[in-house]
């Protein structure tokens, strides 16, 4: 993470930690909701205090949910960093730059997609004995994504991230397989 991004994340975290703790909720404070249906307040029911008032309902919901959402997002960012993901803020890279990088890494897109298509065709031909059963299951998608990343390696200048991506696909596949196994054990199907 860039130093400025880390600094900003720390500041956001400090603000979230300094805010009134406990759950917040958006409420219409008027006894007759028809009186002012647009305006809501944000309350902390456990502490019986008003966090903010005279807000449009959508704004009040946003503020109330931010109390839990922001700490959750910060925690996910920290977990992603610990897992080795690079988090780059404010990087709006031009599509043409991305294309240049991918073309350099994987070769001509038409050729690369052709190789991937050929590999997928072979894979699908082994999976489907009945031409009427053209259902692509999540585990098949995971298989094909791994095959795509393996085929990218056919280009000598392919970055090693393709292998990391393949590893991530294997982890997803393992999750899918364990869910499928659990469903089979539970339902017998």
pLDDT digits (tens, 9 = 90+) for 15-63: 888 989 899 998 888 777 676 667 788 998 999 888 888 788 888 888 8
What lies within 8 Å, CB to CB, of 172 at 6+ separation is: 142
Please check whether residues 99 and 172 belong to one and the same domain: yes
In a domain, residue 35? The reply is yes
Cα(127)–Cα(173) distance, rounded to whole angstroms? 16
Range of the domain at 126: 95-187
pTM, full prediction:
0.44
Q: Total structural domains in the chain?
A: 2
């Amino acid at each position: 993470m860039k130093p400025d991004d880390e600094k900003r994340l720390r500041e956001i975290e400090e603000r979230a930690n300094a805010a009134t703790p406990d759950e917040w909720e958006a409420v219409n404070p008027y006894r007759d909701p028809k009186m002012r249906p647009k305006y809501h307040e944000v309350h902390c029911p456990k502490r019986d205090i008003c966090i903010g008032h005279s807000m449009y309902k959508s704004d009040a919901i946003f503020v109330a949910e931010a109390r839990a959402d922001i700490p959750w997002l910060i925690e996910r960012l920290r977990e992603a960093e610990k897992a080795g993901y690079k988090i780059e803020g404010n990087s709006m890279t031009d599509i043409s730059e991305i294309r240049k990088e991918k073309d350099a890494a994987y070769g001509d897109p038409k050729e690369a997609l052709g190789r991937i298509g050929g590999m997928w065709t072979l894979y699908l031909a082994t999976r489907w004995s009945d031409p009427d059963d053209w259902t692509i299951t999540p585990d098949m998608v995971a298989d094909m994504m791994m095959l795509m990343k393996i085929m990218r390696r056919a280009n000598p200048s392919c970055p090693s991230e393709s292998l990391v991506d393949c590893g991530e696909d294997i982890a997803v596949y393992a999750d899918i397989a364990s869910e499928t196994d659990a469903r089979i054990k539970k339902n017998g199907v």
